[in-house]
Chains A and B, each alone.
Chain A
Amino acid sequence: MSILEVKNVSVSFGGQMIIDGVSFALEEGESLAIIGPNGSGKTMLLKAILNSIKYSGEIIKTGARIGYVPQKLDIERNLPLTVKEFFSLTRTKKLNENYTDNHVLEFVGFGQEYANKKFSELSAGEFQRILIAATILSKPNLLLFDEPTASVDVAGQETVYELLHRLQTKENVALILVSHDPSVVYQYANNVLCLNQSHKQVCYGAPREILTPEGFKNLYVSDHDNHHDLYVGDYNHHHH
């Protein structure tokens, strides 16, 4: 059964199309990767699914408990807030008697000592794992993961994608990954959806069918002129 159905969804800001007619469906425990150049509307598509921005078209969630891992926070990270305190904000009380802070810390590859660390003491890579751990505490069955533009992995550990893949297979969590890295998509996604620079859905299907040289050409070549594309890249920062 589909946990999420997106039908002909469009988003526009001040007369500019940000997303132009996107449709896809996601089954329980399935993973979908959204790829496309910067400014193609990937993050905005996640925000539409979250109901954080206005959109036209239809988004149907059936029994979905959404977990969201944002690219960045709304405020600076030098907060007087510890990992443990952050966990207490996202923990869903009813659903997770078996989930403790230590469990989720272990799941993302950290020891118990991380519970008392302040946000400001974490590296970008560590912080992203903490965001994922906090999301697990809300026991989602649909996880939206927005990959930061800069690679932030912690050296010597399994990649964030391996971690998310483990979450998908162990807990049957459906995943939507926004990614810039096609190799990630190839390894971890059941389906891939591509947005191009004019915000249109230019492919949708299994990675091995989609990620052909011809497919890439369609994705990264725009039907607008270059001048216009310079502006498109900034949309992610403008929606607040």
Chain B
Amino acid sequence: MELILPILISGTAVAIAAGYLGSFVLLRRMALVGDALSHVALPGIALGIMFHFNILIGSLTFLVLSVIIIWVVEHKTKLNVDTLVGVLFTLALAIGAILSSGEELLDSLFGNISKITNADFWIIIISSVAIVLALLILTRKLLLNMISKDIALSLGMKPHVIELLFLLIFALTVAIGIKFIGALLMGALVIIPAATARNLARNFKNYAVISVFMGAISVDFGIIIASLYNLDAGPVIVILASAFFFLSIFFKKR
């Protein structure tokens, strides 16, 4: 058990950040963007492995880059963003596949918690705290901007800037989740706990808290079960989170 304690701690940190972020993502039905975004990290991961630098840094670089490209395209050109996200995602997946070996690719797609280093641990903890703080500070602006961009504008907010900040927070969250649960499954850790919370919540505060809680217990029990039965943690976490979601349907509030 001692060996998995750092993993449990960093896993909980990722889950809290992802669960909180998810409660915003789900409001805006940005689920698909989030999913595509997590795949964009793959070339960064592959480059990190090839040139021996931290893959977290590599994936974050690619994520931030794509977020900025998406944002610029959305606001400065007339190109269709959904199409671009689709193209970027497939391109990134293809480049990632060419650059990495089979085993590495599997690790980056589904995560490998046994490979979390001391440096990773601290990067994950510090980033998670930063993500939660940033979301707390921006809550009012993020919510109002999602509810009605024009109301936000009328109150002197800057919707474009808020959107960019949100996408950057999104990118950082995906980056810290990739080593842990993998690029394919990180989207699930953002979306599923929030979807569960949405079925149970009475108000927004409640919704964010339940989302964080659902994420955390899925990750913690997932890691424990995986270590007991010698399974990969990522898939177990997602299966648990999905089980909670299906249970929540029976308790659904209007």
Interface residues of chain A, those whose CB is within 8 Å of chain B, are: 47, 50-52, 66-68, 70, 73-75, 79-82, 84-86, 88-90, 92, 116, 118, 120-121, 138, 140, 144
Contact = CB atoms under 8 A, between A and B. Distances in A.
Contact of B155 (A82, A92, A116): A92
B203 A70 contact: no
Interface stretch (B47-55, B99-107, B144-152): B144-152
B143 A75 contact: no
A187 B176 CA distance: 60
Contact of A118 (B140, B153, B202): B202
B150 A89 contact: no
Interface string B129-152: 000000000001001101111110
A90 B204 contact: no
Interface of A is mostly: mixed
Nearest to A146: B150
B153 A51 contact: yes
Contacts of A75: 27-29, 146-147
B154 A68 contact: yes
**List of 3 A-B pairs having minimum Cβ-Cβ separation, nearest first:** A68-B154, A80-B207, A80-B201
B76 interface: no
B202 A80 contact: yes
Interface of B: 27-29, 140, 143-144, 146-151, 153-155, 197-198, 201-207, 254
Contacts of B197: 80
A66 B197 CA distance: 35
A80 B147 contact: no
Interface of B is mostly: helix
B51 to A, nearest CB: 41
A80 B206 contact: yes
Contacts of A66: 154
B147 A73 contact: yes
A52 B204 contact: no
Nearest to B155: A138
Contacts of B202: 80, 82, 118
A50 B157 CA distance: 11
A28 B57 CA distance: 55
A74 B145 CA distance: 9
B150 A118 contact: no
Contacts of B151: 68, 70, 90
Contacts of A50: 150, 153-154
A61 to B, nearest CB: 11
B20 to A, nearest CB: 14
Contacts of B146: 74-75
Given A50-B153, A68-B153, 16 more contacts: A50-B150, A52-B149, A52-B150, A67-B154, A68-B151, A68-B154, A70-B148, A70-B151, A79-B27, A79-B204, A80-B204, A85-B205, A90-B151, A120-B254, A121-B254, A138-B155
B59 to A, nearest CB: 30
Which interface residue of B202, B204, B205, B206 has the most chain A CB atoms within 10 A?
B204
Contacts of A82: 202-204
5 contacts: A52-B149, A70-B151, A74-B147, A82-B203, A118-B254
A199 to B, nearest CB: 20
A105 to B, nearest CB: 16
Given A70-B148, A74-B148, A80-B202, A52 B155 contact: no
A118 to B, nearest CB: 7
A138 B203 CA distance: 22
Nearest to A143: B154
A66 B152 CA distance: 11
Contacts of B147: 73-75, 79, 81, 86, 89
Contacts of B140: 88-89
Nearest to B143: A89
Contacts of A79: 27, 147, 204
